[in-house]
Amino acid sequence: MEAQQEIREKVMQLLARREYSARELSVKLSAKYDPELVEQVLMQMAERGLQSDARFAVNLVRGRINQGHGLIRIQSELKQKGIDQDTIQQALEANPVDWFEQAVATCQRRFGIKRDTDIKTRAKQMRFLQYRGFTLDQINHALKFDPADQYDPYDP
């Protein structure tokens, strides 16, 4: 029982700093403690609502959207952290976003508003947006986007 208490305290210390997925906690703690005990403690923590993969996923999605990441990168990161597909889908639905607008905003934040027709610069922008996790359609939309073409109903 002493080992379980020690694991529980360590989990609480970790969760006090930030949310973790169950897999992250399991990997982190299994190096030092018995993996079976770690799994028991993590199940107890999940039952009490102290650790939640769903809450972790929603927070991670929100954070990555704010950082300007795309859908592909976010899904990949969640899978890597041990989140199942249903939980990923729920987290994405909890944080609705227009991925085309997200790609435009990310591109403008990184490269400014002016459009560049230089092939080398466009290739650099494409690689950046691909790395950020946007689809080819979203990237093309972002690179073709011209703020001057936007209709402003308040502009006389």
Q: What is the mean pLDDT of residues 121-132?
A: 94
Going from N- to C-terminal start, the domains of the chain cover: 2-48, 53-94, 99-149
* Entry pTM: 0.84
The per-residue pLDDT for range 4-42, each reduced to its tens digit, is 899 999 999 999 999 999 999 999 999 999 999 999 999
Predicted confidence at residue 118, as pLDDT, reads 85
Mean residue pLDDT of the chain comes to 90
How far is CA 1 from each of CA 8, 46, 95, 115, 138, rounded to the nearest angstrom?
11, 19, 40, 64, 53
CA dist., res. 10 & res. 33, Å (int): 11
The per-residue pLDDT for range 97-125, each reduced to its tens digit, is 999 999 999 999 998 877 667 899 899 99
pLDDT tops 80 at residue 91: yes
Q: Give the architecture-level CATH label for domain 99-149.
A: Orthogonal Bundle (1.10)
Query: What fold is seen in the domain 53-94?
Result: Arc Repressor Mutant, subunit A (1.10.10)
